[in-house]
Amino acid sequence: KLIFEDSEELLQEYFKRWNVDSEGFDILNYLNPEYFGSKEPDPRKPLTVGMLVESAKAGRWLYS
């Protein structure tokens, strides 16, 4: 399991390395920050490898 901060860094590197325009991408649509002592957060939208691949092919984030 990746923690939020690691996921955020990983996705920033993905957008940079694959030259994907990140306009419209909001990490909070897919991942919840973790707070010590907080209840389990509501589920977010899935973020899949397929979404990353298709967006890399298009050169921009395809999902909202």
User: Taking the model in full, what pTM does it have?
Assistant: 0.80
pLDDT at 38: 67
| Chain segment 9-48, per-residue pLDDT in tens | 999 999 999 999 999 999 989 888 776 666 666 768 999 9
d(CA 24, CA 37) in angstroms, rounded, equals 31
pLDDT at 40: 67
Per-residue pLDDT band for 1 (boundaries 50, 70, 90) equals low
Task: Calculate ∠ Cα 64-24-17, nearest 5°.
Answer: 110
Domain residue limits, the chain = 4-58
pLDDT at 3: 75
d(CA 55, CA 60) in angstroms, rounded, equals 5
